[in-house]
Every structure is written in C-alpha cells, then in structure tokens.
Structure 1
Amino acid sequence: MDKKVEIIEKALDHFLKKGSKIITMDDIANEFGLSKKTLYSMFENKETLLNEAVNLLWNNFLNEVETIKSSNENPLIKIIQIYTVAIQRISNINPIFLISLKKYHYEVLCEYEQHKLFMFEKVVKPLLEDAKKQKLIREDINIELFYYINFEDIDEKLWKYKVFEKHSIQEALDYFIILKLRGILTKENFDLF
C-alpha cells in the first residue's frame, strides 16, 4: 500500500475517534517513524491531511452507495440500505470529530458539508423522485423539504440524542429513516417495508 494512503487511513481513524485537535502532525510522524520534514513533504499542513482524510471517509461511503444504487431494489429500499450503511458508520464516529471540525477546521467542515449536499443532490433526491414516479410515495410530497427536515443532519441528531448509547442500529434506522419514509408512502404501498 502506498505510504501516503496508509497515513491518510490511519490519520482518519485517529480523527474519527479523538477529533482533530488532539492529533498532531508530530503524532502522525512518530507513529510512522517519519521525520516531520518527510510528513510535510506529503501534506502541506494538518488541514491538508485532515481534508484528505475526510475525502477518504466520504469516498469509501460513496463506493458502497454506488453498489446499492446499482441493485434491482426499488428506490425506497435503496434509501433504507444506504442509510443502514450510513448509520453503521456514524455509530463508529466519536461526535468530537464533527465538533472539532466546526471549531478548528472551517474549510474541512465546508468540504464535509459539500459531501452531504452531494448525497442529497445526486443520491437521495433522485431516488425519492424515482419513488414518486413509481407512485411509491405521495404525489404531494415536497422532496427537498422532506429531506431537509428528516435526513439532512442525521449524523448530528444521532449524536445529540446519544442514540447509540441506548439503542441499537436497527432502532436508529427504524426511527430516523423507515418510519419517516413510511409516512410518505401511498396507501397502496403502506406495507412496502
């Protein structure tokens, strides 16, 4: 494996568990037995390393999403499968990760938010539109409003309510995704899932 990729993967693991403030470039250099000069030849600064780590996080997730999107399932089942993966991933992230992005790394936070916007624009919205065309969900549903009220900040809501401390991933999926989707189903598809 390429040393740079290995460093990004390990740094991502640290950032997700401990946040970005506590992890220093010295820590990363020491872990890999590198001089700081060598590390800085690969990454201009910690912000660059963090940005590449966030991109890796999203790219790994989006690879799984693409596999789900290419399946023959109906669009609502695909949404449930995508959010199953998302909630599983979120359950392994310490909330300090997002808190530290908000507090110390505004540009990386913006990149993180761009990925979330991409998820809506290129993944969830088209699936909901397809579900509407197939008459799986009610014609009167405003897809954008539905998404922004229910799904946009699911990561923050799961952490805010400490869902993973008291509930299973399946319960989180049921209450944050499935029940909300069930609320917009057409009558004839109410037992779809």
Structure 2
Amino acid sequence: MREKIIYKSTELFLNLGFKSVTMDDIANELGISKKTIYVHFPNKTKLVEAVTFHLFDTICTGIDSICENAPNPIEELYSIKMFVMKHLKNEKTSPQYQLKKYYPLIHAELKMKQFEKMHESVEKSLEHGVETGVFRDTIDVDFISRMYFTGMTGIKDNMFFPPESYQMEYLMESYLEYHLRAIVTEKGFKILNQFIKQNQS
C-alpha cells in the first residue's frame, strides 16, 4: 500500500502541485481512508519527502541506463533531458519552485543530491566526449560540469523565466544547445547539428 500511495501522490503532485493536493484528495483518488495514509506517513511533509526522493531515485536509475547505452555524449544529454521532462510531466506545475517555497528543507536536500548526481554523470560524459573527439580537449571538465548544473537549475527560476513567457521544454532545449555549442569540436558540431535537425521539438 505504501508504494501505491507514493505512486498516486507523485502523479497528483506533479499534475496539480504540492500545495493544492490534500491528503483527502489522495485518499479519494485511491479509494481508501485518510487514516490508511497516516499509517504509512505521519503527515503530508513526510509524504512529500518520500515522493520527492522516490522520484529522484527513479530518475537516477533511468539516467544511468541512458549513459550506458547512448551512442555519443551529445545524444546522451538530449536523451536525459527528454527522460527527465517525461518524468516531471514537463514541469507544468513548477514542482521545484513549489518545493522550494513550501518545503524548503526537502528542497535543499534534493538540490544537494541532484548536484552530486549531475556533477558525477556530466563529468563522465564530458570526459567521454573529450576522449571520442566530440568535445574540445582544452575544456575544464570540473568547471563545465558545475556550470551545467547551475544553468539547468537557473532556468527553472520563475523569477527570471516566468512560466507564462517560457515553456520548460523550450528553456531546456535552448540551454542544452547553448551548452553544447560552447564545448564541441568540428566533429561534435556536425553530430549536434544533425541531431537537432532530426529531432526538432
């Protein structure tokens, strides 16, 4: 039952937002009593925490699988972007923003976990790109990896990129292209251009 509660809560939180979904809403959707939820989660904060880190673990597992199977580091980054967008329902309720506003402690812990995971996987991707000649061998891998994380989290800031003006899909696509164009070699540039032409969203 715990897994069912987490699964349904994830769906509701991502579609409607952390703030607007109540424990009653979740109980009604599952056809159970609110007491049953409280057996597994003493309060809504604990449920939000469980949902947040369960989703994080699911995304990490998917990213690891993409990294193992991607034909090159350029397509790898695009595949990760598409995978994350799918799992976060295109972020239409701005889950990161809501988490930061209403559950700051959970948000802070998640951000550190995201940084550690992304820093590690982007560093490996950059090193692989340098080895295979698609990224310049003069790049500072640690710096670029940190900049990538900073940019990816920065575009989710509603103050700078209001959702009524910028769709998340557009922001992620544009930032990814911006990032890659700065570090590709001639060989990487050809792969990037070809990939963009084939996958215009």
TM bucket by the smaller chain? 0.7 to 0.9
> What are structure 2's unaligned runs of at least 5 residues?
193-201
Q: Aligned residues: percent identity?
A: 25
TM-score by length of 2: 0.77
1:183 matched to which residue of 2? 182
Q: Which whole-Å CA distance do the structure 1 matches of 2:28 and 2:70 have between them? A: 47
Secondary structure of 2:91's counterpart equals coil
Unaligned runs of 5+ in 1: none
How many residues align? The count is: 190
Q: Which amino acid aligns with 1:75?
A: P
For 1:150 and 1:127, the matched residues in 2 are separated by 12
State the distance in 1 between where 2:49 and 2:102 align: 12
State the one-letter code of the partner of 2:48. L
Equivalences for residues 1-193 of structure 1 within 5 A: 3-71=1-69, 73-90=71-88, 92-154=90-152, 157=155, 160=158, 161=161, 169=169, 172=171, 174-193=173-192
CA contact (8 A) 1:131 1:137 kept: yes
**Alpha-carbon distance change, 165 to 60 in structure 1, aligned in 2, over 3 angstroms:** farther
- 8 A Cα contact 2:81 2:172, kept in partner: yes
Q: CA deviation at 1:177?
A: 0.9
| Contact 2:151 2:175 (8 Å CA) reproduced | no
Q: CA deviation at 1:145?
A: 2.8
1:74: Cα distance to partner? 1.9
Go from structure 1 to structure 2 and tell me whether the alpha carbon gap of 1:88 and 1:153 turns closer, same or farther (over 3 Å shift): farther
User: 1:116, 1:152 within 8 Å by CA — same for their partners in 2?
Assistant: no
* RCO higher in structure (CA 8 A, sep ≥6): 1
Q: Supply the RMSD in Å over aligned alpha carbons.
A: 2.8
Q: Could you say what secondary structure the match of 2:139 adopts?
A: coil
Q: What is the Cα deviation at residue 42 of structure 1? A: 0.7
